[in-house]
Structure 1
Amino acid sequence: MDASDYSELEGGLVRMLDRLKNEGTATKDPEADQFLRDNANAVLLGLLYDQRVLAETAFCGPLKLRQRLGHLDMRQIADMDRDAFEAVFVETPAVHRFTNKMVDTTQTVARAIADEYDGDASGLWREGTNAEVEKRVKKLPGFGPQKAAKLKYCLYYFGHRDLSD
């Protein structure tokens, strides 16, 4: 499967990728788009947040966190006091509408990335086939088969890796 061909997808990610191709911005926020291109952790968290909110809102979430925290360091996020992290997460506009679940899931994902990939989500996809990458991603909380399958499109369109078969 060619990672540039997302015709099998439906929903908000399709809308974002169509806008990226036609208008040059996926999220409608050039700064958020650039952050997604520059930061592997942002791509992973954006995809995590892409559930039951607009995709554009989801993929802007990591930039909101960086602006509020001054970083998107997975080790620091994992180590933060949960209540302090929640306070940052719920600042208006909230990072995600399902605050309790996403605060906990974000910190759990951050802990896994910190411990298993030295804080860098690109370690999930740096090596291996698409199937191997999907298998690794599905081990993370919040990443089922459908979401794991979307990763290759996000990686391709934000310039991190081409996982075409």
Structure 2
Amino acid sequence: MDVTLHLAQQPEADELLGRSPLAALVGMLLDQQVPMEWAFAGPYTIARRMGADDLDAHEIAAYDPEKFAELLSAKPAVHRHPGSMGKRIHQLCQYLVEHYDGDAAAVWKDAGSGTELLCRLKELPGFGAQKAQTFLALLGKQLGVAPKGRREAAGPYGEAGSFRSVADITGPESLAKVRAHKQEMKAAKASGR
């Protein structure tokens, strides 16, 4: 994995997301109840606060959970809910250490199908069906992970040419299109359509 993502809209943070499978997973985990850019800048902020150039699942899993939550709570906080998100990241890293020897990319490296990969993603702490489908779409559309049936497994997020999620953001223009789509969806939901 060594691509340029444009999710944090900060060069250093985006560079980390593009080269670090764990950073990409953590960014996706943080992507709720905060602006996308804030969420995906989180892994870079965490790495810097840990005095590292990357995130390490073994190191985070070995961290005292309360101390790790404090690390995320330092000003400016990594998330609107730094305590609970710190615990989720800690749980994610413990799971990765236990099931994948700490290698986040192992979640998708040998997946035989999109369905299998979706199941693996849904097993990750903090990853429900929608988050798993969105991340599966991001893996396929931008990170070159393309097991058979991945578009179908990703549901609407896997559609080519769509602008519905982080999987479709490659720069400012596509970011604006994704935001417009989300506003349309919100308006439709509010009006009962």
TM over 0.5: yes
1:45 aligns with 2:29: no
1:14-57 superposed Cα distances (whole Å, 9 cap, x missing partner): xxxxxx9xxx8332101111111100001111111111111111
* Cα distance, 1:160–1:107 mapped onto 2, change above 3 Å: farther
| Aligned counterparts, 1:140-151, within 5 A | 140-151=124-135
Percent of aligned pairs sharing the same letter: 34
Q: Distance in 2 between matches of 1:160 and 1:120?
A: 17
Q: Distance in 2 between matches of 1:76 and 1:25?
A: 26
| Preserved contact between residue 58 and residue 94 of structure 2 (Cα < 8 Å) | yes
Offset at 1:107? 0.7
Q: Distance in 2 between matches of 1:158 and 1:65?
A: 23
Specify which of 110, 124, 129 is matched with residue 127 of structure 1.
Answer: 110
Offset at 1:158? 4.4
Letter in 2 for 1:94: A
Q: Distance in 2 between matches of 1:115 and 1:43?
A: 19
TM-score under structure 1 normalisation?
0.79
Q: Which residue of 2 aligns with 1:107?
A: 90
Q: Distance in 1 between matches of 2:33 and 2:127?
A: 14
Offset at 1:160? 5.0
Structure (1 or 2) with the larger CA radius of gyration: 2
* Cα distance, 1:160–1:121 mapped onto 2, change above 3 Å: farther
| Preserved contact between residue 49 and residue 96 of structure 1 (Cα < 8 Å) | yes
Structure 2's unaligned 5+ residue stretches are: 152-193
Q: Which residue of 1 aligns with 2:62?
A: 79
Further displaced range: 153-162 or 80-89: 153-162
Off by >6 Å, runs of 4+ in structure 1: none
| Preserved contact between residue 73 and residue 82 of structure 2 (Cα < 8 Å) | yes
1:25 aligns with 2:20: no
The higher relative CO (CA closer than 8 Å, separation ≥ 6) is in 1
Letter in 2 for 1:122: A
| Preserved contact between residue 7 and residue 36 of structure 2 (Cα < 8 Å) | no
1:129-158 superposed Cα distances (whole Å, 9 cap, x missing partner): 111111011112211100000012322354
1:162 aligns with 2:146: yes
